Amino acid sequence: KQEVTQIPAALSVPEGENLVLNCSFTDSAIYNLQWFRQDPGKGLTSLLLIQSSQREQTSGRLNASLDKSSGRSTLYIAASQPGDSATYLCAVRYGGSNYKLTFGKGTLLTVNP
Protein backbone atom coordinates (compact mmCIF):
# COMPACT_ATOMS: atom_id res chain seq x y z
CA LYS A 1 0.00 0.00 0.00
CA GLN A 2 1.37 3.42 -0.90
CA GLU A 3 1.43 5.51 2.27
CA VAL A 4 2.94 8.79 3.47
CA THR A 5 3.94 9.35 7.09
CA GLN A 6 4.89 12.61 8.75
CA ILE A 7 6.81 12.93 11.98
CA PRO A 8 6.36 14.64 14.36
CA ALA A 9 2.61 15.18 14.46
CA ALA A 10 3.14 18.46 16.31
CA LEU A 11 6.12 20.68 16.98
CA SER A 12 6.49 23.81 19.10
CA VAL A 13 9.59 25.99 18.80
CA PRO A 14 10.71 29.46 19.88
CA GLU A 15 10.94 32.19 17.28
CA GLY A 16 14.22 32.27 15.37
CA GLU A 17 14.93 28.56 15.61
CA ASN A 18 15.79 26.47 12.56
CA LEU A 19 13.66 23.34 12.24
CA VAL A 20 13.16 20.21 10.17
CA LEU A 21 9.92 18.46 9.31
CA ASN A 22 10.07 14.86 8.16
CA CYS A 23 8.12 12.91 5.58
CA SER A 24 8.52 9.26 4.65
CA PHE A 25 6.89 7.27 1.86
CA THR A 26 6.59 3.55 1.28
CA ASP A 27 7.27 3.26 -2.46
CA SER A 28 10.41 4.79 -3.96
CA ALA A 29 8.88 4.89 -7.47
CA ILE A 30 7.56 8.40 -7.06
CA TYR A 31 6.95 11.00 -9.77
CA ASN A 32 7.21 14.04 -7.52
CA LEU A 33 6.71 15.22 -3.96
CA GLN A 34 5.01 18.41 -2.88
CA TRP A 35 5.04 20.28 0.43
CA PHE A 36 1.97 22.32 1.37
CA ARG A 37 1.02 24.71 4.14
CA GLN A 38 -2.50 24.75 5.58
CA ASP A 39 -3.81 27.43 7.95
CA PRO A 40 -6.74 26.46 10.22
CA GLY A 41 -9.97 26.04 8.28
CA LYS A 42 -8.32 27.03 5.02
CA GLY A 43 -7.21 25.40 1.79
CA LEU A 44 -3.68 24.29 0.94
CA THR A 45 -0.88 26.55 -0.26
CA SER A 46 1.83 24.89 -2.35
CA LEU A 47 5.30 25.60 -0.95
CA LEU A 48 7.72 23.46 -2.94
CA LEU A 49 7.57 20.69 -5.52
CA ILE A 50 10.50 18.30 -6.04
CA GLN A 51 10.61 16.15 -9.14
CA SER A 52 11.88 12.58 -8.73
CA SER A 53 15.08 13.49 -10.57
CA GLN A 54 15.87 16.34 -8.15
CA ARG A 55 17.52 16.23 -4.74
CA GLU A 56 16.31 19.53 -3.34
CA GLN A 57 14.37 22.73 -3.95
CA THR A 58 14.66 26.08 -2.21
CA SER A 59 12.30 29.01 -1.80
CA GLY A 60 13.28 31.80 0.54
CA ARG A 61 13.71 30.37 4.04
CA LEU A 62 12.43 26.96 2.95
CA ASN A 63 14.49 24.06 1.65
CA ALA A 64 13.05 20.68 0.77
CA SER A 65 15.18 17.63 0.12
CA LEU A 66 14.33 14.28 -1.43
CA ASP A 67 16.04 10.91 -0.96
CA LYS A 68 14.12 8.36 -2.98
CA SER A 69 16.31 5.42 -2.03
CA SER A 70 15.48 5.83 1.65
CA GLY A 71 11.92 7.00 1.02
CA ARG A 72 12.38 10.29 2.83
CA SER A 73 11.91 14.01 2.36
CA THR A 74 12.62 16.84 4.75
CA LEU A 75 11.39 20.42 4.88
CA TYR A 76 13.88 22.76 6.50
CA ILE A 77 12.62 26.11 7.75
CA ALA A 78 15.28 28.66 8.65
CA ALA A 79 14.87 31.40 11.23
CA SER A 80 11.29 30.49 12.05
CA GLN A 81 8.70 33.23 12.63
CA PRO A 82 5.30 33.21 14.38
CA GLY A 83 3.71 33.62 10.93
CA ASP A 84 5.09 30.19 10.01
CA SER A 85 2.65 28.60 12.46
CA ALA A 86 0.43 26.26 10.43
CA THR A 87 0.03 22.61 9.48
CA TYR A 88 2.59 21.39 6.95
CA LEU A 89 1.53 18.57 4.66
CA CYS A 90 3.69 16.33 2.52
CA ALA A 91 2.11 14.79 -0.58
CA VAL A 92 3.50 12.24 -3.00
CA ARG A 93 2.50 11.63 -6.58
CA TYR A 94 3.37 8.04 -7.29
CA GLY A 95 4.60 7.41 -10.80
CA GLY A 96 3.31 7.13 -14.32
CA SER A 97 -0.23 8.10 -15.17
CA ASN A 98 -1.28 8.20 -11.52
CA TYR A 99 -2.01 11.89 -11.06
CA LYS A 100 -3.51 11.85 -7.57
CA LEU A 101 -1.59 13.00 -4.53
CA THR A 102 -1.24 10.81 -1.45
CA PHE A 103 -0.96 12.95 1.67
CA GLY A 104 0.49 12.48 5.11
CA LYS A 105 -1.49 13.62 8.13
CA GLY A 106 0.64 16.71 8.53
CA THR A 107 2.81 18.33 11.17
CA LEU A 108 1.22 21.10 13.24
CA LEU A 109 3.92 23.74 13.76
CA THR A 110 3.66 26.42 16.43
CA VAL A 111 6.32 29.14 16.52
CA ASN A 112 6.22 31.02 19.81
CA PRO A 113 7.22 34.70 19.92
Q: How many residues bind other proteins (CB under 8 A)?
A: 23
DSSP 82: G
How many residues are there in the chain?
Answer: 113
Strands 10-14 and 107-112: parallel
Greatest CA separation found in the chain? 45
Amino acid at 73: S
Q: Among the candidate windows 11-19, 59-67, 76-84, 104-112, which touches other proteins by CB under 8 A? A: 104-112
Question: Which of 2, 26, 51, 81 is in the footprint of other proteins by CB under 8 A?
Answer: 51
Site for other proteins in 61-100 (CB under 8 A): 89, 91, 93, 99-100
Residue 26 CB, nearest distance to other proteins (Å)?
15
Question: Is residue 105 near other proteins by the rule CB under 8 A?
Answer: yes
Task: Name the site residues for other proteins (rule: CB under 8 A).
Answer: 4, 32, 34, 36, 41-46, 49, 51, 89, 91, 93, 99-106
